[in-house]
Amino acid sequence: MNLQSLIKQYGIWMLLAITLSATAWISFTEDKAGDVLIVKRPPTNSRAPAPPIAITDEFNMDTLLRPKTDELPSNLFNTDMPVAVQTQEAISIPLQEQVPTIPYTYAGKLEEDGHYIVFLTKNGRNYVVREGDALGKWQIKTIRPPQMILSYKPLQAEVPMSIGEVN
């Protein structure tokens, strides 16, 4: 075996050993005195210099505690609106009814004497419809493959439904 094949075979182990030995050497030579280091900040304005900040190895959590108060916590996101504003917005925004999705699923079609009969399903029930038929709030306007046009009666809106090409 030559040197290059040894490096390929044992290279990761050699790198691990070097890393561990460097870590051990740093940890033994590190100064553990906990000296105070004074860091000077640049002045925030030209008239008064900023006081120095003392940094130590110890951290005191008590400096982060807030003073206790008798106030109740407030709503952080302020989602509560006064009643007057709510009613004014409710009056100014008219509710517009939208056409719902067609509740029926296409199951098949049949051509008879140039007229089409379409089979629909809804909640496990089967429906057989022709042009002009009504199903609740829906009415069948036209059946012309590849689509059928249904009309939503309350809004008098027409909605297409794909029924596929003629076989």
From first to last of its 167 residues, what are the pLDDT tens digits of the chain?
Answer: 677 887 778 888 888 999 999 999 888 876 655 555 566 666 555 566 555 566 666 777 777 777 777 777 776 676 666 655 555 555 565 667 888 999 999 999 999 888 999 999 999 999 999 999 999 999 999 999 999 999 999 999 999 999 988 77
Domain presence at residue 143: yes
Q: Indicate whether 23 belongs to any domain.
A: no
Give me the pLDDT at residue 149, please. 95
Q: Which residues pair with 125 in a beta bridge?
A: 122
Owning domain of residue 156: 105-162
- Give me the pLDDT at residue 71, please: 77
Which amino acid appears at position 155 of this protein? L
Is 134 a member of any domain?
A: yes
Classify the phi-psi angles of 124: left when phi > 0, otherwise alpha if psi is within -120 to 50, otherwise beta. Answer: left
The pLDDT, as a whole number, for residue 47 is 61
The per-residue pLDDT for 166 is 79
pLDDT of residue 69: 78
Count of the separate structural domains present in the chain = 1
Answer whether 117's CB lies under 8 Å from 128's CB.
Answer: yes
In a domain? residue 137: yes
Residue with the two structure tokens 């302020």: 78
* Cα separation values, 48 from 41, 42, 51, 54, Å: 12, 10, 9, 19
Closest C-alpha to 150, from 112, 109, 108, 101: 101
In a domain, 30, yes or no: no
Decide if 157 is inside a domain: yes
Distance from C-alpha of 111 to C-alpha of 94, rounded to nearest angstrom: 45
Beta strands across the sheet bearing 157-162: 134-135, 138-144, 147-152, 157-162
Instruction: List own/partner pairs for 128-135 with CB under 8 A and 24 or more apart.
Output: 135/104
Residue 110 belongs to a domain? yes
Structural domain contains residue 81: no
- How many residues are there in the chain? 167
